[in-house]
Amino acid sequence: MRLLLFIILFVVLLPLFLIGVAIFTWRIRRVCVPQNISGTANEPYASRLFMHIAGSRIDDAGYKIAKYLPSYGGIVRFLIIDTTRLACKLSGYKGWMFSYPGPRPSTLATLMSHRSYFFDESIREALTRNENPATQFVVLGAGYDTRCYDLPEGSDINCFEVDMPPTLNAKKQALELAGVPHDHVTFVETDFNQETWMEALLNSGFNPNLTTYILWEGVTMYLVEEAVRDTFNLITTLPSGSAAGVDFFSKDLIEGNPPFERISKAMHRGIKYYSENLQFGIPTGKKLSAGIEELSKESGLTLTKFEHVGSEGDKLPPWYFFSHIEKH
Ligand SMILES: C[S@@+](CC[C@H](N)C(=O)[O-])C[C@H]1O[C@@H](n2cnc3c(N)ncnc32)[C@H](O)[C@@H]1O
């Protein structure tokens, strides 16, 4: 019944939504891409916005900054997000891509809620455990992630957001205009493919002797293998108890090996639209987690939690993996 009501309301609002999508698309190609502001950062961000407006996963800071971002700013937030919010609110619908933590096994439609939940839990565990909690929080490839603005109550944590300068500047400006407090966050500019983020962090006041949690969500697939290995080798230099949350696409998906030929082509094409490239995928073995376990082990780290989208019985084997990796 709720779904039916949502569909009816959404169809009524569809013209506004479509105008919003058209302006959004134009802005990505004509405003963001020419200035090297990440276009792909909008994808996970939009999923979190949709969960927020449905009331299933609250992200006040994310919603506030939307109004000032080059992609969703001004009228676009109203046309895409607020129209959908109205349909969700009047119908009470919170299913499908609006759900959180979402169903298991997750699907293509619910993979973002699965991903958000996995990393929310990974962060919560590292920052709030009684013994040796992390007191530094680093978000690598932060994009429009807002976890630093929604920390567990009472926590006194130094936060660092690392990304390339154009995306970081767009976000900083949006935070300022939206009045979201961000004094506890240090913004660090780097290019993972060119230089080590650790050097940039150290120059920005990062303390390598403190237990640290690193969120590296939605980034490895855009990097070259060397940059991924370098990052693992840097995480292992942090004190014991430090941890990282990292997601990977499978190597077979990235390379378009059978049975991923069609989906691989579609994904490469989709990402090219943002003028970005999918580059790195993790090998799988008899066990889906084999490649991540090996990569972690080679760097002196331990894989302690692993989940994947979909189920091993599906026609298309799982190709998207979430991992929590620790320095013991
Ligand atoms: C898909 S977005 C994910 C953003 C955020 N982690 C999230 O989940 O919402 C990928 C982010 O990684 C950043 N990124 C990609 N390649 C990078 C590189 N070589 N150096 C630094 N940041 C990079 C992009 O600018 C973008 O913000």
Tens of each residue's pLDDT in the chain, 328 residues: 899 999 999 999 999 999 999 999 999 999 999 999 999 999 999 999 999 999 999 999 999 999 999 999 989 999 999 999 999 999 999 999 999 999 999 999 999 999 999 999 999 999 999 999 999 999 999 999 999 999 988 778 999 999 999 999 999 999 999 999 999 999 999 998 887 899 999 999 999 999 999 999 999 999 999 999 999 999 999 999 999 999 999 999 999 999 999 999 999 999 999 999 999 999 998 999 999 999 999 999 999 999 999 999 898 999 999 999 999 9
In a domain, 103, yes or no: no
Task: Give the integer Cα–Cα distance in Å for 192 and 215.
Answer: 14
Does residue 20 contact residue 80 with C-beta atoms inside 8 Å? Answer: yes
Task: Residue count of the chain, please give it.
Answer: 328
Using CA atoms, how far apart are residues 14 and 140, in angstroms rounded to an integer? Answer: 36
Q: What would the DSSP string read from start to end of 30-84?
A: IIIGGGT--STTHHHHHHHHHHHHHTSS--HHHHHHHTTSTTTTTHHIIIIIIHH
Q: Which helix (DSSP H) or strand (DSSP E) does residue 258 occupy?
A: none
Instruction: Supply the residue whose CA is at minimum distance from atom 23 of ligand 1.
Output: 141
Classify burial at 255, counting beta carbons within 10 Å of its beta carbon; exposed 0-12, middle 13-18, buried 19 or more.
exposed
Residue 195: predicted pLDDT: 79
Q: Is residue 71 part of a domain?
A: yes
156 with 120, same domain?
yes
Boundary-marking domain end, from 63, 95, 127: 95
Shared domain for 141 and 224, answered yes or no, is yes
Range of the domain at 63: 2-95
Q: 97 C-alpha vs ligand 1 centroid, how far in Å?
A: 22
CATH number at residue 302: 3.40.50.150
Residues 72 and 10 in one domain: yes
Q: Which residues line ligand 1 (CB under 6 A)?
A: 38, 40-41, 44-45, 141-145, 163-164, 167, 190-193, 217-219, 222-223
| Number of independent structural domains in the chain | 2
For residue 41, report the distance from its CA to the centre of ligand 1, in Å.
6
Q: Please tell me whether residues 290 and 243 are part of one structural domain.
A: yes
Domain final position from 95, 121, 156: 95
Last residue of one domain, picked from the residues 95, 127, 147: 95
| 209 in the same domain as 287 | yes
pTM assigned to the model: 0.96
